[in-house]
Amino acid sequence: MTAVNELLDNVKIRLNLASDMALAERLTVTRSLVSRWRKGDTPLADERIAQICALAKLDGPTWIAMIHAERATSATERALWRLMLDRMSAAAAVVALVALSMPGIANAKTAQIQAVSGADNGGMYIMF
């Protein structure tokens, strides 16, 4: 259960928790339950994954897909979860590119002025 361990470790880092005991207390579960999650003896429910991700401000759907891909019992199921992960990653990349390519609100007026002043309108003259 590498993905589960990775998730729990990321949460501990994000919340500045020193141990699994501190993590268990924060989640209001027993230390032994956290240990069983780590060993794979007790599966981490989707609701709990969502709760943990919300607590640490992590991307819940991505973690759910990663954990399900790892738990998958057939190659077909595993391929389906991997495909979902790839699609989510591609969608996130597109959103990031769009956000980076747009001028910020503060620069929007400047960009608009530059667009107008750069137009070939023969210049602007003010007469008194």
Kindly state whether residue 91 falls inside one of the protein's structural domains: yes
Q: What is the model's pLDDT at position 25?
A: 97
Secondary structure, 3-state, 18-29? CCHHHHHHHHCC
Q: Which domain holds residue 49?
A: 2-117
Kindly state whether residue 110 falls inside one of the protein's structural domains: yes
Kindly state whether residue 125 falls inside one of the protein's structural domains: no
Give the count of domains, the chain: 1
Handedness of CA 77, 87, 58, 3 (dihedral sign): positive
- Cα–Cα distances in Å, from 75 out to 37, 67, 82? 23, 15, 10
From CA 12, how far away is CA 56, in angstroms rounded? 8
Q: What is the model's pLDDT at position 73?
A: 92
Kindly state whether residue 77 falls inside one of the protein's structural domains: yes
Kindly state whether residue 105 falls inside one of the protein's structural domains: yes
Q: What is the full per-residue pLDDT of the chain (128 aa) written as tens digits?
A: 699 999 999 999 999 999 999 999 999 999 999 999 999 999 999 999 999 999 999 999 999 999 999 998 999 998 888 888 888 777 767 777 777 777 665 565 665 566 555 555 566 666 66
Kindly state whether residue 53 falls inside one of the protein's structural domains: yes
Q: What is the model's pLDDT at position 97?
A: 72
